[in-house]
Amino acid sequence: MAGDWIKMRVDLQTHPKIVRILSATKADKFRVIGGLHAVWSVFDTHSVDGTLNGYTPDTLDHIIGWPGFSEAMIRAEWLSFDGAETLVLPEFDEHNGKSGKRRAEDQKRKRDGRKCPQNVQNESGQNADENRTREEKRREEIKDTPISPSGDSSASSILEQYHAKLPNCQRIAVLNDKRKKRLVAAEKLAKKICADQGWKYDSPVFWGAFFGECAGDAWMRGDVPNPNNPAWKQNIDVLLAEDRIASVMDKAIATMRGAQ
Indicate the helix (H) or strand (E) that contains 194.
helix 177-197
pTM for the structure as a whole: 0.45
**What integer is the mean pLDDT of 171-191?**
86
* Residue 230 pLDDT > 90: no
d(CA 113, CA 117): 6
Position with higher pLDDT, 2 vs 30: 30
Q: What is the pLDDT of residues 96-144, one digit of tens each?
A: 655 444 555 565 566 666 555 555 455 455 555 555 565 555 555 434 4
β-strand pairing of 80-81 with 86-88: antiparallel
What single-letter amino acid sits at 114? R
Whole-number Å distance between alpha carbons of 28 and 22: 7
Listed residue (257, 171, 161, 172) closest to 215, CA to CA: 161
Over the stretch 198-223, which tens digit does the pLDDT of each residue have?
888 888 888 988 998 899 889 899 89
* Predicted confidence (pLDDT) per residue in 33-87, tens digit: 999 999 988 988 888 888 898 899 999 999 999 999 999 999 998 999 988 889 9
The whole-number pLDDT of residue 248 equals 87
Which tops the pLDDT comparison, 3 or 252?
Answer: 252
Higher pLDDT, 147 or 228: 228
Task: For 84, list phi and psi in degrees, rounded to 5.
Answer: -130, -70
Q: Which pLDDT value is given to residue 197? A: 85
What is the model's pLDDT at position 253? 77
CA 120 to chain centre: 37
Could you give the count of Cα atoms lying within 13 Å of 107 in the half-sphere of its Cβ? 9
Half-sphere exposure of 183 (CA within 13 A, CB side): 28
Nearest to 76 by CA among 32, 126, 117, 129: 32
Q: Is the pLDDT of residue 256 over 70?
A: no
pLDDT value at residue 33: 93
φ, ψ (nearest 5 deg) of residue 52 = -120, 100
pLDDT at residue number 56: 92
Over residues 227-252, mean pLDDT:
84
Q: Are 234 and 170 in contact (CB under 8 A)?
A: yes
Residue spans per domain, the chain: 12-94, 96-144, 152-258
Q: 228 or 70, which is more confident?
A: 70
Class of domain 12-94: mainly alpha
At 12 the pLDDT is 85
Distance of alpha carbon 137 from alpha carbon 142, whole angstroms = 9
Average pLDDT over all residues of the chain: 78
52 strand-pairing partners: 87
